[in-house]
């Protein structure tokens, strides 16, 4: 599906944000596994279908890790370039 938005944003997840998500899970006393169990069991009752889905998601998780490892440095460099360009713009409007 092609995005209709013309705006793009980079998001950097830092330790504080990750800790806030972890804290949210702790606060509502629900684990990632139990969340997945509730959702899967609601939509699927066939154990073979569930097994195939789980295998597919595991495979995609591995692929996503490889993609993230390959492209994270590029995203970080793009963020730095963007922030530097903002600084140049700020400096040019002040001087």
pLDDT digits (tens, 9 = 90+) for 4-51: 656 665 656 678 877 876 777 676 665 655 666 666 666 677 778 878
Residue-wise pLDDT tens digits, 43-79: 677 778 878 887 888 889 889 889 988 888 888 899 8
pLDDT at 55: 85
DSSP string of the chain?
--------------HHHHHHHHHHHHHTT--HHHHHHHHHHHH---HHHHHHHHHHHHHHHHHHHHHHHHHHHHHHHHHHHHHHHHHHHHHHHH-
Could you tell me the residue ranges of all domains in the chain?
15-45, 46-95
pLDDT at 1: 42
pLDDT at 52: 84
pLDDT at 49: 82
């Amino acid at each position: 599906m092609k995005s209709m938005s013309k705006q793009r944003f980079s998001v950097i997840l830092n330790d504080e944000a990750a800790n806030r998500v972890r804290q949210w899970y702790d606060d509502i006393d629900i684990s990632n596994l139990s969340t997945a169990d509730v959702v899967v069991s609601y939509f699927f009752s066939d154990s073979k279908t569930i097994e195939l889905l789980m295998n597919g998601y595991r495979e995609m998780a591995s692929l996503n890790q490889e993609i993230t490892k390959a492209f994270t440095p590029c995203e970080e460099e793009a963020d730095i370039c963007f922030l530097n360009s903002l600084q140049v713009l700020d400096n040019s409007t002040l001087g």
